[in-house]
Structure 1
Amino acid sequence: MKRGIRFKLIIFLLAATIIPFGISIISIYIYTKNSVVNRFVKNNHVLINKSGSDLKNYFEEINNIPLSIYTNRPYLEVLENGATEFIDKNQFEINRNLLNLYFNRREIEQMHLYIERGKDDFSVYNAKVSGRGKLLNFKDFPIYKTLMKDEQFVEIESTHDIKSYNDLSDFRVKPAKQVISFHYRLMNVTTDQLLGFLSIDVRLDRIKEIFDRIYDKNREHLYVLDEDGNVFYSSNGNRIGEKLTNSWYKEINNTKVEKGQYDFEGKNKHFKGVYVSDQVKASGKTWTIIKSIPYTNLYQDANKILIINITIGAISVLFVTVLTILVSVKFTNPIHTLIRNIKRIEEGELAVSFDSLGDDEFGQLGQHFTSMIEKINDLYIKEYKLQIENKTNQLKVLQSQINPHFLYNSLQSIGTLSLKNDGKKVYKLLTSLSKIMRYSMRNNEDFVRVVDEINHIKDYLALQNERYDGKFEYKLNVDEHLYFTSMPKMTLQPLVENYFKHGFERKQNLGKLEISISQFDFDTMCIKLIDNGVGVDQKKLEKIQFSLMNQAKNQKESIGLKNINDRIQLYYGEKGKFFIESKQHEHFIVTIYLPLHVDRGAIENESVNY
């Protein structure tokens, strides 16, 4: 599909405006996005680090709870001597101190005390101290075994469902609450004697307060993990207590980073955004805090700026588009006017339909164009009429050359026949001759029906057959539906005459001539003449072809062929075709292609009648 100059001008002007503006918007967006993302990530590192410090402080607060035992000498003596000695007094002391520890913080859900001397243990749950139990072997508790081996005096058990210690507590609420357990090894500082173990189960209330304030609950996720990858706390409650095996966690866990901070982009079918992580050391362990931030959050500010820029850009582009269209229309209107007039000229109407195209360069072009058309119109009419007159005169010259010569030969044949006293045949020949003469003298028409041209050539061949005493034979094959189709007058006779003059008379054997008129395709008629004359060699054929295509002089032998070819080109232009081919001593072939549908009015206007 061809694009006009108006379309190209609009596209060019729009491109010259939109492309720089678009590049500017994209550059600003990329810079803003990177800046916002870096600032956002940096701020999140600060938030995570602050929450990590709060977590560390909270752990220290919980770790300070058992220290009050060492400042309470009566309670310390109970732990050293066992609960069974002075049972009533000791039981009261144990209950009082356990409840004091229990009410120390509101998020403590359960406490368990094991006394190594006597293997006694007690639990506090729901603000009640259980009865005395017997824990015959504390090593049955894996966490206590770990404490004995570890140099640390405290071991934190990651988030889990609350459980009963030695079946001393009765949990009727379902589902079980999730707690974090702090297990302490109680020692006599001076003698390094093992006094027992204290376990504190803490609800996640305070942990939730610390971390819920640093993430968007609707779009972001948070994970707090222990050293083994267990989820200590998460924004997704269903994952608390699970072991994390996600690929993004493995990348964080396997990456050694300075100061524990790390962030990277994650792209998968479930999440597209940035993971920000930090590490904090508390109670002898390293805790990893991971926050996932989707791109929608990261790019929120950048997208707002982008929307503002796009809105301004759209308004600007709309204004530029309207202005561009107005400029292009004003600029291309004179060109379109010239194109319309050129098309009219191509169709044969040598006239312009505008007065002025303005006072600029287009106006000057219009003035020169009008002046040029006026001159072309004058020259065209003079030259074209002269050309038609010249071709018509050539045809008449051809007829004048043919008729006397043919008349002499025909009369001589008729005279010879009359001597043989064949009166009926003489009448037929005279009738054919009169038809030929009448047909040739119809100078007021350039086009005839196919059937008229065929009848004329039949009369002509009848006389020639008598002249040459039947030494040749001919065939006429014509599609009947083409009988009333128009064709140029005197097209066939010069070709047949050319055969008798240059092909038949020089050959000794029986002459053969075949004329066919058929429909070549939907809009074309084919006229073909084939003879078995002496033909011409390749050099002579090229010479004749050259004379047909050019204004060659002194080509008397091909004047008939050239006249026919010139008239076909004059009447039909490029739609009419004229071809010759020959092989010496074998044949000479003429093929003519004429269009079936032609503007007869235009041809009649071009004809010059005498």
Structure 2
Amino acid sequence: MRWNRIRTKLITLLLIATIVPTMSTMVITYINNYQSLQERTLEENKKLIYQGKHNLQNMLHDLNQSSLFVYTNFEFFKMLERGYDDAYMEAQAYAVMQNMESSMRHIHQVYMYRNEVKRAILVAQSLPHRKYESEAYEPAANYAKQGIQIQPTYMSETYGFAPSTQWKPSVPVFTLHRPIYKVPSTKELGLLSIDVKLEAISEITDQLYAKDKEQLYIVDQNGYVMYAEDETLLGKPLQKPWLSDNLLASETKGNFEYDNALFVHESIDSPIAQWTLVKEMPKRYLLQDTNRTLMFNMVLLSISTLIIIGATLWISIRITKPIAQLMRYMNQIQAGKMNVNIQVDSHDEIGIMSKRFRDMMKTINDLIVQEYKLELANKTNQLKALQAQINPHFMNNALQSIGTLALKHDAPHIYSLLSAVAKMMRYSMYNDKSTATLREEVDHVKAYLQLQGQRFEHAFEVDMDIDPSTLSVIVPKMTLQPIVENYFKHGLDRTVQGGLLRITSRWHAPDTLEISVLDNGFGIAPDKLMLLNEKLQAAGTTPVPTKRSTIMYEPNNPNNLLSSQEEEKSLYMDGNIPSEESVSCIGLVNVMTRLQLFSSYPASMQLEAVEPHGTSVKILLKVGRETE
């Protein structure tokens, strides 16, 4: 087998491809499985921690509602507010505190202190304990001064009451301290402290992690431990390098990796506490499932390798056969047989490629036929242009004879008009000359305007402001007259007097000629004005020849066919557009094309609307002060 054959290359590459990928796949699979397992573990734990967060929020909500019993019991609060101190008040206070204790099964005891009567009440195991003429328990009072606070986990105390054999042993609790205000003022009537057993948290957290393998922490906004499996950490600042202020910020959640462990955290926000729930998962615990998955994948990869090697030869032959057939078709097309019947037997990618190649050849053949038709149409248009090129000597001589007859009959005005027509005829006789001076162009336009003035009974005025230094500039022949003609074809309002046509020329820059034709006619619709400017800009991008005399205004030049009068008429707002008056009318796009071909420098033509109505055509032509 020769190496330059695709079949040889395919077999060799496929055999290599069955060895290198297999070995690398084992490593990649291990990494991918680990990453997938890590991502899956993170997602599962995020959902688990999220559920635990809501359970803890519900517990804090219930605790908050229980502490509000002092306000929701209207009769008790009014008596407390007015400073009542009798047996009935004592009974009401005990009833309210007993309701608090029984509202949650994990409430250990409830402590209340009344500032006005200096009395402390402690309800533990539904039994009341009172202390008269005493100060508030100092730790509780210190927390209450800061508003509603939850004291981090600690071993329960008796709030300064003498120990009793009836009390149960001290247990880990966290305490809600709430000052009692004389609402709506901020005057303190007393304080309330509710001890909640740590079991209220542990019953929820035990379902969130695997003990002895993972760790779970609940810390408050100050970094103190509310819950941890290690009881020595309870109530103390959590001294962990991964703990940061950002982690303790409210309304945060997410995950991070630190010291070969994954961490998932959720913030727990409630009116009485801002906690952060953090779960730590060592990677060594996660890799147990990954290693088992790796062994299973290695067995599958070994089997797959054998199957791939066995299928390599069959695949290479199956793929290369239709490719070789397609190459034979290409050789026939290269030899000139364009109508090759390309047979496609397969429906795979090679078959699709063969179908696309067949469709491409059909498109190419159609384009060749279309190109022949376009070439034929261009020849026809050139023939029509040549037919319109007949020199008007006969018409010029006839006009001279008619003018002489007009003078004999004492009609000088008719003679003047005939002279203007003859002047225009003579100007158009020089078909072999494609350029003219601006003076010749202006004279030609003056003759044209003289005839139009007679036709429209002087319904318009002409204002010419021509810089004398610009008259010697050479420009393409028939540049001004087509632009002026557009005013009479599309812009002149024949029903009213006061039409204005202003023609100016000046130096826009030392080497740039500016020609402007402005009228106060109907104007052009904004959308159609934009369309016409786009066409003029497109005409201005025509490749410029190195010599300006290469292509100019020549009747037999296909470039003169670039613009259609019918297309220009559709751009004007006036619906009563007159029919064509001259087959020699040159469109604006044609003028722009000839200006571009005239000079080796860029030329531009811009149409603008004139307020309140009218149109301005501005030409910029870089001529370098060329003269005759």
TM-score under structure 1 length normalisation? 0.44
Q: Tell me which structure has the larger Cα radius of gyration.
A: 1
TM superposition score normalised by structure 2: 0.43
More helix by share: 1
